Amino acid sequence: MVKIRIAAVGIVICLLLGTFVPLRGQDPAPAIGDSAFWEMITGFSEEGGTFRYENLLSNESSYQRIIPSLKRVVRGDAYIGVGPEQNFTYIAAIEPKISFIVDIRRQNMLELLMYKGLFELSNGRIDFVSRLFSRQRPEGLNAGSSPEEIFQSYSAETCSRQLLDHTLHKVTDRLTVYHGFSLTEDDRKTIRHVLETFCTAGPQIDYGFVNAPSTLTAPNYAELMSATDGRGQNWSYLADEETFDRIRNMQLSNLIVPLVGNFAGKKTIRSVGQYLKMNKLTVSAFYISNVEQYLNEAQKTAFRSNVASLPITRSSRLVRFTPPESTTMSSLSLFALESNSLFHLLSAGDR
């Protein structure tokens, strides 16, 4: 989940407290079979819920800013996140063995499965962007093209309904026939809706296109993919071919697992924790955006209990947003929440 007003938000990294589990060697993770992958999605997930906005893409313009700090401190095996495409950027940066993306909306899980199909079908970033926005590939682009060049070229193209239908067929076939995932008719309609929205809006799609065009100011997709960490480094998953391939290879190995789950629920986060413990894996980073602001006190207590059940190390980090009145994007404050809180906030400057 993400905040609607994003003009000046700060990201802080928080220490995950709990029982420490020793780190395993950083050997490559084995691929997960299709049946096991689908069983994880269906078995770990909870009943879907609703959210007041349709989160088809991030509205968090500054989420790359903590990546240098995160890369310096994080050691571990697993990434957990929430929301859509911004997770790919974090995953590509910290390179976990396996990733779980937990969101209360079933639509988010299906959008991430749509992305999975697009990654697997695409031969590089240029092909991927063509499929994502249903636009014919422009002349003059190559593997060395920058995100700015790629999105500028695609912004001049128009939505192709023929390409949309072709992509939808290929993605659905990839998920249901090649992988054998059991998608309902409603699931298929949701995937079509997401692809149609990207086709209609194009690379200029932003959070307000679907939710509140007249009142919401947010970065568009092209801007998110061209953004930097404030130091000139672009960490987006479309920054270059190597970064894109890092995510594509994880998708091909079924190592990015989208789940439907409530952060305060009794099943999903705890199921992820049990899986990690069984496989002697620990949590590297848990990106929660600003989900906490939508939880009441009882739900916050349940969420903290869920986090405490995860296998972690001293380098495990929680990534969360703080309101603009308490910090800024360029200067993060050092402070702690209430004494009985699980989370102690640390500034990026102290990494």
Angle at 197 between CA 138 and CA 239, to 5 degrees: 50
The secondary structure element, H or E, covering residue 10 is: strand 10-15
Return the axis-axis angle of helices 106-121 and 161-173, rounded to nearest 10°.
100
Determine which of 14-23, 75-84, 192-201, 237-246 has the lowest per-residue pLDDT on average. Answer: 14-23
User: What is the distance, to the nearest Å, from the Cα of residue 57 to the centroid of all Cα atoms in its chain?
Assistant: 9
Residue 33 CB contacts under 8 Å (≥ 6 apart), including other chains: 254
| pLDDT, tens digit, 9 for 90 and up, residues 152-166 | 999 999 999 999 999
Question: Is residue 1 domain-resident?
Answer: no
Distance CA 92, CA 244 (A): 8
Question: Is residue 2 domain-resident?
Answer: no
Question: Is residue 72 domain-resident?
Answer: yes
- Amino acid identity for residue 220 in this structure: N
Distance CA 87, CA 132 (A): 17
* pLDDT for the residue 328: 41
> Phi and psi at residue 287, in whole multiples of 5°?
-95, 115
Question: Is residue 203 domain-resident?
Answer: yes
Question: Is residue 314 domain-resident?
Answer: yes
- Does pLDDT of 337 surpass 50? no
| pLDDT, tens digit, 9 for 90 and up, residues 115-167 | 999 999 999 999 999 999 999 999 999 999 999 999 999 999 999 999 999 99
Mean local confidence (pLDDT), 172-188: 98
Question: Is residue 306 domain-resident?
Answer: yes
Confidence band of 216 (pLDDT split at 50, 70, 90): low
* pLDDT for the residue 49: 84
- Domain housing 305: 10-350
How many distinct structural domains can be found in the chain? 1
> Is residue 210 a contact partner of residue 142, using CB atoms and an 8 Å limit?
no
Residue 201 CB contacts under 8 Å (≥ 6 apart), including other chains: 209
* pLDDT for the residue 292: 86
pTM, full prediction: 0.88
> Is residue 42 a contact partner of residue 268, using CB atoms and an 8 Å limit?
no
Closest CA to 306 of 318, 315, 294, 314: 318
- Does pLDDT of 347 surpass 80? no
Question: Is residue 3 domain-resident?
Answer: no
Question: Is residue 4 domain-resident?
Answer: no
73: left (phi over 0), alpha (psi -120 to 50) or beta: alpha
